[in-house]
Structure 1
Amino acid sequence: MAGRTIDDGSRPGAGGWRWSVGDVKLIIAAVLGAVLVMGVVVRFWALIVAVVIVAVALWLIHDSAVQRQVRRDLDDQRRADLRSRADAEHQAFLRGERRGLYGEYEPPEL
């Protein structure tokens, strides 16, 4: 049965355009599937829109949580750098170095 073909006569001769039964079944299945999907979309459009809105909202919430965590990590790193520099300047001050008193902004010598 798979070997049967339908010749629509669009091209003359032995090399004519031929449709196999499997091709016709595939086209019919694709058309019926498309009609089914369109029917579901038309029938449940409100539910589909609600699900899309909820999915976008969840994605935005997750994205903002990730951004908050990144900002928190950067702020923690900035504070750690500030503590480290302050401790280094304090140790320099205890040793009597000018850098310990003025830090990175030492005044010019007069």
Structure 2
Amino acid sequence: MDTDAPMDTDAPDAEGGPPGLQAERTRLAWTRTALSAAAVGALLAHGAESALGFACAGVVLGCAVGFVRCGTARYRRGAGPLSWWVGVLAVLPGVAALVAVLAR
């Protein structure tokens, strides 16, 4: 492939949609993930009976904020490799929710 050739900005993206929509779909996916994590965090806070339960709810809610920030950053920056902390961010809400439920 010729690297000096200009990119075709009118070409459809990988899924056949108009160009530029892939970034928008990715941002919306991160937002949906954040909304579901916020709902889980709110439910954990509502049912918390100890400081550990509230701490786990806070961790999940903090991860929800991190999801929104990550989605926004990827939308602005474009596709590329994810940082190591995104993997931690993806696993942490599940671990915190499990700890909160088991501690009950």
Is TM more than 0.5 here? Answer: no
User: For this structure pair, what is the TM-score category when the shorter chain's length is used for normalisation?
Assistant: 0.3 to 0.5
RCO comparison, higher one (Cα < 8 Å, 6+): 2
Give the TM-score normalised by the residue count of structure 2. Answer: 0.38
